[in-house]
Amino acid sequence: MGNETITYREPGQQLPAPIWLRALVALIVAINIISFAGAFNNFQIVSALSGLPVSPVAQLIFSGVFLLAFLLLLVGLQQRRVTALAAAAPLLTIYALSGLAWNLLLTRSTYSQETFGCDSLMTLLILAPVWWTAWRRGWLKPLRSALRIAPMSRS
């Protein structure tokens, strides 16, 4: 019917991650670089700061772990690694939920109290297409098979 082009792929070949997902992960990497720099700055001047709700050391570790995790995820998505594709949705979910939990620690501030509902809604709206894409493209199959408990053999 016309000039339709059908592209076939080998059975083991993975489709690339969508550009919007790679851009989202790159944005999270950039945000975590800024967060890590701020945490490092707070760590250096910790004696001058008083009344911080969270330890600068905890903030430094928290942002450093996520920076490393999302850098590895971004590289893995670029290289179409199966483990990166399978880890994308769960890692983004853990990051989003930990960000919401972090905001709950800061509910003393007026800003955090007024935006928590909006933050929660935005989290759901951002995670919905990520999970939909992961489910539809079969990225979760390796994760599901890894989590299955092997049947016990009787001797």
The residues spanned by each domain of the chain are: 19-138
- CA-based nearest residue to 61, from 36, 31, 92, 26: 36
- The amino acid that residue 143 corresponds to is L
C-alpha to C-alpha distance for 142 and 85, rounded to whole angstroms: 9
Per-residue pLDDT of the chain (155 residues), as tens digits, is: 455 544 445 555 566 889 999 999 999 999 999 988 887 887 777 655 566 666 777 778 888 999 999 999 999 999 989 889 999 999 999 999 998 887 777 666 555 567 778 888 989 999 999 999 999 888 888 777 776 755 555 55
By residue count, the chain amounts to: 155
Distance between CA 50 and CA 60 in Å, rounded? 17
**What pLDDT was estimated at residue 73?**
96
Give the span between the Cα atoms of 8 and 6, in whole angstroms.
Answer: 6
